[in-house]
Structure 1
Amino acid sequence: MGFVRLMTGDIAPEKLGFTYAHEHIVCRPGHWLERKEEDLLLDDPEKSRQEVAAAKACGVETLVDATAIDYGRDPQAVYDISMRTGMQVIGTAGFNKGFLWDAKMPGENRTYEEWIEGSSVDELTEFVIREVNVGMQETGIKGGQVKFGTGYNSISPLEIKTLRAACRAHLATGAPVHSHTEAGTMALEQLRYLREEGVDPHNVSFGHMDRNPDTYMHLKLADTGAFLCFDGIAKVKYNPESIRIRCILELAKRGYQKQILVSGDTARRSYYHSYSYAVGLPYIKETWAPRLQEEAEHAGINGEQLVQDIFVNNPRECFTFKKVSG
């Protein structure tokens, strides 16, 4: 029997409930901290608690906190928010993407880039395994997925290292895998390395698919069995909601309804109501999901079932630990 690993402990997949598949709750990325980019610092746990409580009050039951160590992760703060609000939270082991790695590692006189460059793939793999099986940043709070990421239209040698480490940690632990694709690029190219490492794409969710609203690419990716995460909801500066919904409905029409995830990737103060009076975390559940259901019905698709799959059934399948062979 599989399980989902929350920050607060393991649960049966059936208890996951209505789930946002990619969020950020507390993060202080060194790259942005050193540049004094305040909008990219979610550094007030009380404001984050207020936001999470509002999401819980409107019916969201689980958040996937996709903040990796190189994005200023604070597992203890997020654990405390989970305990105080009752929101179930899945934490993230592994890494984000290369251009952030110029920042100094906390408490050390070296950058993330120097750490990754100076470590073997096996050493990085052991680090990720420890984050899943023992705990993140010496807290005892375990990661519920492993993450890697690549740059915009590029994959660097160091990103290949962390990609391989995440894949090998997945094979050793059964933890689901999440891929960061910068602006929705390089997902198909990442598949080469997943295959080399023996990873079944059905155990991988690819983020930021709505940043690259290319249905051809989406269908090729879906053909592999992978999950596609449309995690830019409410970010109209990138694409209007009509574009996102059109891509999602096209996947549903082609038979890939069971492979779609949705979230907001709220990694800026200007996305949080508690920081800036923006629409915040409740928006997807209260406003966007009903719109998706309505537009699905107009397209001849069962909208109620589509919403149920995207927010309940698909996360249950995606975030369940798989049996480790051998």
Structure 2
Amino acid sequence: MTEITTVTGKLSADEMGRTLPHEHVAYGVPGWRIDKSVAPYDRDECRRRAVETLSRLREEFGLDTLFDATMNDAGRDARLLRDVAEESGVSIVCSTGTYPESRGSTTYFDQHRRLLGDVTDELEELFVTELRDGIRDTGVRAGIVKVGSSNGEITDYDDALLRAAARTQRRTGAPILTHTESGTMGVEQAETLLDAGANPDRTVIGHIDQHDPEVQRELVEMGVRIGFDQIGTNGDETDDDTRIERVASLCRDGYADRILLSHDYIVNWLGRSVEVIYDDLDQWRPDRLFEYVVPELETALSPDDVTTMTETNPKRLFTA
């Protein structure tokens, strides 16, 4: 029996149930801590909001498990995740990882540690430590690795980050989730990870709903899993109806076992208010998948295909 590591301890993979595999309980754009004198971190309020949100998803839509994809440099709070899991009844899997060069706080590794050692080795050491031994003194262990690449390129630092993730997976078996930027570098990410020894069955190239359908198909043909994981973030070129059409097309061609569905939703933004962004994101809600997308997919596909994407595939990241 395979067990996964959650923020409250071990869980049988068979008990994961309905899963959201790419969300954020609390998230801050790297650098948000600089602004804490003006926008302090209200941990109690973050907990309250998250417990309320996850409890509703569990009660109304049967949510069992959530992967929190918040990286080390984006406000990850392991104790907060543990408290929210205990109070809401939703199992939470915590990430270890950092953002790529274009989005993260990379100066420490890329400009400081690079002068003193091997950055890939040191990132691998960090990831493995948090997966095996725990995150500092929190008593919480990470269960997945989250990394990414920059917009339109894989920099030297990004390459080190991806290779460290693959090497970590080879040592620990932990699934890898990735962040792609503006619909770029998905194939290149997969090539780098696989070249470094990653298991495609335990690797999810993320935010793939922002990529061209040709790229989506190329990735599943490479054998990796892909995340249609920004549901609700409708723009000029990608909306949920387009996502539904593309997911259904891939499923009809036999690729349901490669697809994961989620929102990349942020329950709590750390730092100053961002309410203005929701003027253009009125459909970006943590229940959008279950309330709209799943019913639409159920009319276009077999119930087994939908269950595969929302329950079986997240489990396979740990068991394949």
How far off its partner does 1:220 sit? Answer: 1.2
Contact between 1:271 and 1:280, CA under 8 Å: does it hold in 2?
no
1:62 aligns with 2:65: yes
Question: Normalised by the size of structure 1, how large is the TM-score?
Answer: 0.85
Match of 1:256 in 2: 255
Contact between 1:272 and 1:279, CA under 8 Å: does it hold in 2?
no
Structure 1's 48 and 117: CA in aligned 2 closer, same or farther, altered over 3 A? Answer: farther
Structure 1's 56 and 113: CA in aligned 2 closer, same or farther, altered over 3 A? Answer: farther
Q: Percent identity?
A: 27
Paired residue secondary structure (1:290) = helix
Paired residue secondary structure (2:25) = coil
Distance 1:169 1:66 in 2: 17
Match of 2:311 in 1: 312
Paired residue secondary structure (1:21) = strand
Match of 2:184 in 1: 185
Structure 1's 233 and 192: CA in aligned 2 closer, same or farther, altered over 3 A? Answer: closer
Match of 1:153 in 2: 152
Distance 1:68 1:271 in 2: 24
How far off its partner does 1:237 sit? Answer: 2.8
Task: Give the number of aligned pairs.
Answer: 304
How far off its partner does 1:277 sit? Answer: 9.0
* Deviates further, 147-156 or 110-119: 110-119
What residue identity is the alignment partner of 2:209? D
* Deviates further, 75-84 or 117-126: 117-126
Output aligned runs, 1:112-261, within 5 Å: 113-114=110-111, 117-118=114-115, 119-120=117-118, 121-212=120-211, 214-237=212-235, 239-261=238-260
* Deviates further, 2-11 or 304-313: 2-11
5+ residue gaps in structure 1? Answer: 104-109
Distance 1:321 1:169 in 2: 17
Structure 1's 244 and 271: CA in aligned 2 closer, same or farther, altered over 3 A? Answer: farther
Contact between 1:54 and 1:282, CA under 8 Å: does it hold in 2?
no
Aligned residues: CA RMSD: 2.8
Match of 1:106 in 2: none
How far off its partner does 1:69 sit? Answer: 0.1
5+ residue gaps in structure 2? Answer: none
Contact between 1:167 and 1:199, CA under 8 Å: does it hold in 2?
yes
Instruction: Write the deviation string for residues 67-112 of structure 1: whole angstroms up to 9, x where unpaired.
Output: 0101111111111100111111111112222223348xxxxxx746
Contact between 1:178 and 1:206, CA under 8 Å: does it hold in 2?
yes
How far off its partner does 1:54 sit? Answer: 1.5
Instruction: Write the deviation string for residues 197-231 of structure 1: whole angstroms up to 9, x where unpaired.
Output: 1222222011101111x221111110122111101
Instruction: Write the deviation string for residues 238-274 of structure 1: whole angstroms up to 9, x where unpaired.
Output: 622111111101110111011110000013565999x
Match of 1:17 in 2: 17
Contact between 1:97 and 1:149, CA under 8 Å: does it hold in 2?
yes
Structure 1's 254 and 123: CA in aligned 2 closer, same or farther, altered over 3 A? Answer: same
Match of 1:6 in 2: 6
Question: Normalised by the size of structure 2, how large is the TM-score?
Answer: 0.86
Instruction: Write the deviation string for residues 34-69 of structure 1: whole angstroms up to 9, x where unpaired.
Output: 479x99x99622222221222122211111100010
Instruction: Write the deviation string for residues 142-165 of structure 1: whole angstroms up to 9, x where unpaired.
Output: 111112110111111111111111
Match of 1:28 in 2: 28
Match of 1:49 in 2: 51
